[in-house]
Structure 1
Amino acid sequence: MDRPAASSPSDAHWAPDHIVLARTVLTYHGRLLVELESDGSVYEHAPLAGMAAVEQRFPAWALGPFGRVEPERRLPRDPGVFALVQAGVTRYVGASRDLYRTFGSRGLGEISRRDCQAAGKEESCRLNRLVVAEAKAGRQVDLYVLVTEGGGWFGRGAQAPEELAGRIAEAAHGSWHLPR
């Protein structure tokens, strides 16, 4: 007698549709998926590896290892606030002028040698490393998003995503934020 195929661990993943942080509702937008090698292990690369003179000049966040990360669902090209949640605990809250780009290949999604050498890319490098470390440990990272109004980034009366993210981050105390 044939048995039905066992459900994969990814099918068993459950996350609430919404979370409330600092009286702000963020909507579940899926998991952050990390690329796997053909043997099932997490794909990793270190763009600065083997460059001894470079390795000593840059901080640990720039050295990797990094992976390829992408959201489970397509993100809008709108400004907004996002939260990275692991096992029901908010680990990070951030703001973005373009959510699609933030999690795309030029943002958190894939870290290049140039990204490792740019001081403005610290956040992307650190978050990529942390998401990849969670995947290596067999844990999922969930993405929650609040899209702000398209004109709200510079509009009057609207709270900028970075201000809103700062207020939420203070309340959430995510462990992946830089120490103050």
Structure 2
Amino acid sequence: MEPPLGPVLDEHWAPDHIVLARRVLSYAGRLFVERDANGTVIVHSPLADMAAVEHRYPAWALGPFGRIEPEFAVPRRPGVYALVSAGVARYVGGSNDLERTFGVRDGLGHISRRDAMSKRHEEACRLNRLVVAEAAAGRTLDLYLLPLEPRAWWGGRRGEAPSAVAAEIVAAARPEWHLPE
């Protein structure tokens, strides 16, 4: 008689790379959202205790937001990233510093009151809301990266602009997600 098999702790599987618009993006792990002891996603709204906020700030600034952390370390270099859910690329974006974009302190990993009040952080706020909503619905988000060569400022060989490569991929792949309003 064979011993009974124990419960499988992690059944998540993702391919080690995906190809979008003839570009190969490598698997960089899952995006984890902070949860309490019961498994409920912990959210916060940094502007919630401010008077008349609804009239002054757009919906993307109001939250709810959560703390997000990538499963593995993200390289400190420019590149393109794709958020993939159930094998489908849902969002593609470009970043001049992937580590900062997905950082717990500076990027979409934690949205502060200052971030929510700044138009410059709109994409990070929207992405945070998107990732938190997916986690609250019980879906896993995988992160895929295409690191690019840094752009030379001294007139040497210039690397590709992350935003241009991301736009090229979006035009060809047409991810199904749009950032929440």
- Same fold by TM (over 0.5)? yes
1:85 aligns to what?
Answer: 84
* CA distance 1:24–1:151, shift in 2 (3 Å): same
Q: In structure 1, how many angstroms separate the alpha carbons of the residues matched to 2:156 and 2:93?
A: 20
- Offset at 1:113? 0.5
Aligned pairs (5 A) from 1:10-89: 11-89=10-88
> What SS does the corresponding residue of 2:140 show, helix, strand or coil?
coil
**Moved beyond 6 Å, runs of 4+:** none
Contact kept, 8 Å, 1:94 with 1:162, in 2: the verdict is yes
CA distances 1:65-110 after superposition (whole Å, capped 9, x unpaired): 0000011000111111100011111111111111111001211100
Q: In structure 1, how many angstroms separate the alpha carbons of the residues matched to 2:46 and 2:6?
A: 39
2:124 aligns to what?
Answer: 124
User: Alpha carbon RMSD of aligned pairs, Å?
Assistant: 1.9
How many aligned residue pairs are there? 176
Gaps of 5+ in 2: none
- Offset at 1:171? 1.5
Q: Is 82-91 or 148-157 further displaced after alignment?
A: 148-157
> What SS does the corresponding residue of 1:28 show, helix, strand or coil?
strand
1:7 aligns to what?
Answer: 8
Q: In structure 2, how many angstroms separate the alpha carbons of the residues matched to 1:95 and 1:155?
A: 22
> What SS does the corresponding residue of 2:93 show, helix, strand or coil?
strand
Q: In structure 1, how many angstroms separate the alpha carbons of the residues matched to 2:161 and 2:65?
A: 30
Contact kept, 8 Å, 2:151 with 2:158, in 1: the verdict is no
1:160 aligns to what?
Answer: 161
Contact kept, 8 Å, 1:64 with 1:129, in 2: the verdict is yes
Q: In structure 2, how many angstroms separate the alpha carbons of the residues matched to 1:32 and 1:94?
A: 15
Q: In structure 1, how many angstroms separate the alpha carbons of the residues matched to 2:164 and 2:151?
A: 15
Q: Is 152-161 or 118-127 further displaced after alignment?
A: 152-161
> What SS does the corresponding residue of 1:52 show, helix, strand or coil?
coil
Contact kept, 8 Å, 2:92 with 2:175, in 1: the verdict is yes
Gaps of 5+ in 1: none
TM-score (norm 2): 0.90
- Offset at 1:149? 1.4
Contact kept, 8 Å, 1:152 with 1:159, in 2: the verdict is no
**Percent of pairs with identical residues:** 62
CA distances 1:3-31 after superposition (whole Å, capped 9, x unpaired): 554123xx101111110000000000000
> What SS does the corresponding residue of 2:167 show, helix, strand or coil?
helix
2:172 aligns to what?
Answer: 171
1:99 aligns to what?
Answer: 98
2:137 aligns to what?
Answer: 137
